[in-house]
Structure 1
Amino acid sequence: MPTTVAPPRPAPLPPAAEHDVAGHRVPSAGQWMSTTGGRIAPSGEAWLEAVYWFYKYSPFASSGSHGPKKFGITTWRMAKAIAHLTECRPSVGNLVQWLKLSERTVKYHLAMLRESGLLTYRARGTRVAGCGGRASEFERTIPQAFDDAAGLRTGPSDTLIRSVRGFAQDKIPLLKELHAAARPSRRKKRTKGANRRTLKATSGTPSCTPMVGSTSSSSTAGDLNSPSESKLASGQHKSPAPKKPTRRKLNTTGRRYQLAAELIQQVGWLHRAAVPRIAWIVRHVADAGWSTAEVIAVVGLAAPARRVHRPSGFLASRLKGAHLLYDTPAKRTAIVDHWRDSRPAEHDRHAEWWQDDCRRPASRAVAREVDAAFAQLQQPATPAADERELAVGDDGLVALEQLTRDEVIELRAAALKDPALVRATLTACGETYTRRLYSSALVDQVQRLARLGRTVVHSWRPA
């Protein structure tokens, strides 16, 4: 992708009293959404304003023993690439390909963005054997140091942790500079000489409709100037009817591949089959307009096989001549109704969990652990020797004074690993009871994560 050159770093820096603040460095424990002290950037352009401030004015210095210490032109280029991602999952391999940098350089600058508080983990990348790696998912955040330096006043927000409520008047020049640096550059179209003369001739003629320039980008501080009343819309203009989205109609080959993919997803013994081969096997029934349920019904009419060695061959033998036998929609509807009332269909609906919606774990060790867990769940529960009955008050709740200190610590540790326990206690017992049991800090953290719309549970180790 073409790279844009950032504005050159000026030699004389502004006075410390005007823009500079005390340098800050976010530790590893504060680089998660549940522990960050920053706020979520409302847009990619607003986030770039904070990055540009770190690039030009901030005294931030990395704590790493190797690599760059401060923000540079490479950090700015990488931030521009990350700001345009719809889902902030910047894979190291993609950044290496886009920016033509080495893998080690990309990792250095990503670490600086995290350490400065501009990138915050939503989910940490993993490497699962046999399934490939998964890139880390970040959230573009704006640290408190930038808000203080830019004179922004923030308040609580349900979706952004904090949102901008106002700005200091003496910081308007700095905000304009940051907004101009983060604004995407637009290239002017080259026109011929005749077109230039036409434009010059018509530019002096006033238009009957006021031309109001607008942009879809949003600044960190919002609009600095309000539009005049003469440029406001009257509210009587009707917008044109939106165009209806047109779906692409599948051809014969596409219909075969669609039916094959649906069969592989819904039939357990077809999970490892190749889509092109299954598409060739179901070509006759797909051309006749069969649905997935009709194919499954015809395949399940005969006695079920104990073990399918060759899924594609087994499917071909079951569908041989089926398109000639059930040649009308009425016949196929009748066979589907008959299949739904049969015993094999009832058995398939109550099959094991990995044979229906999920696949069986590829690792044998994981499969053994899953089998042991299900076997333990199926065993009848035996009461523990030291189990005791707790007295219940008039409000139907157990008095917390009956719990020992070790039991309270164990309950809080379980709630720290699974926030659903806190939410369930809030619903059943109320907020006052929950805060006494789990502490106000833990309840506030769970409510904060719930407002973000996504809960990420991290590994917990006892101290």
Structure 2
Amino acid sequence: MSAGAASAAVLDDPLREDVDKSVVDAVVVLPALFVPEACQWLQTTAGRVALEGYSWMQAVHWVAGSGLYKPRRHRSHGPRSFGPTTVRVAQELAQLFPCRPGIEYLVRRTGLSERTVEYHLGMLREAGLLAYVVRGTRIRGAAAQASEFALMVPPEFDAALGIRTVLRDETAPEYTRAVCGIAEAGRELMAKLARKAARKVRRPRTKSGSKASVKDARQGAVTVVSGEARCTPMQVGTSAISSAGGTYSPPEEKLASGEAKSPTPKMSTKQAGGRRKQSKVGRRYQLAKELVQELDWLRGCAVPRVAWVARDVADAGWTVTDVRAWLHMRGEVTKVRRGSGLLAVLLAGAETVLDTPAKRADAIEQWRGAQEAARRHRIEQVRNRTERYDGDWAMPTSYRVQQDVATAFAKVREVATGGRAALTDHQDSGPDTENLPIGSGVQDLQDDEIVQARNDARQRLMMGDTSLITVAVDTLGREEAEHLYGPALVRRGMQLACGARSSLMTYGRR
């Protein structure tokens, strides 16, 4: 592009009427303005962070008037130029701190479509005016998180106006550079950009029956509002325009007669604090969102479908605590294939059963009591496991090693007590050995006594009690215990006793 063509292109733009030809000639020698996607993050950007929205809007107007950035140079779709619509989107971003705009918020504020807002946000990033701090996420079943941006000033802006920057802290990143001066040749252009940043670009107001206004609105024409007639929140810096000078207050007689409206906005009387009262559909969606977040078996379900399933209880004024109490009354679930379908079955007729707040309060108390009992039971289980298995010595897991250890203990006890005959004087202090036959030996027992002992051991073994067999093995030895109870019963009892010490096996309950 030649210097003359660039000057004509700049001066034809309504946002560029204050740029003289000498400045345009200086701008033409600058390289094309484009930031790739990998450099659109705060950690990788080459620009510097704008301290406030007013100075950032000066850089935005400079990019709009320089013509260095052309969107169609790198892609074939979207807007053709960095124009007034992009500036209007930038004005909304300059008023946010932190800059975390949602797409729906910008659509509501600018009147543009969702796709158009996304296009212009991408143009601001490609021009080096925005950088990602945190990129937004959209996860099914969870609320969408908006992206957070940092307002950036591209290095081409500092080079064009002769702005000098300094890094006051050597350990700080490069994007924290601060302005320490400006060249004399760039002061005039900076003042013009300051006046543009003090004004606000707005959508034109179309009149009914005016074809020209409708045509201008379709073409995206904008109206520039002077700073004297409208207060600008970001009006600071080199601009000398006062926002308080243009404030208009109607006379008292017009206010009294109702001909003029009061400049003070009235708060809504629908709810305290001026907030809108939540609608029926809003209550359904709020309850559905809380249920998806708190119930594990509802994770991944669509919030609109859960809202439709829980519409009856939501209309009845139920909260998520009421729903959880009702689900506790219906019974806990262990395997769920389709969460929304199960919720529809469990909530059928719930609003007719717990139809009063008192009934729902009683259900909540029962649910909380069950939660407290389950918590105490878990604490007791952990305490018993710790006291049982966290001692100084642990039983070996190998069955053969257990046999060797039991034989060694039996020999030590036999030597300490003076032989097998000393067992006649043994008195058992535990309740688990009360049915163990104690005498001169197992060979002296009658057949009916052995049968009775085996039946008692088998019944206790079916209930998970292995004390008779383990005590017999520890005191009499493995051979005598097998002669008393039989090899199969002793082997089964020792297997269960070994499995009871493992956290991977439980018995005695389902």
- TM-score normalized by the length of structure 1: 0.46
- TM-score normalized by the length of structure 2: 0.43
- Structure with bigger helix share is 2
Query: Higher Cα Rg: structure 1 or 2?
Result: 2
Structure of greater relative contact order (alpha carbons < 8 Å, 6+ residues apart) = 1
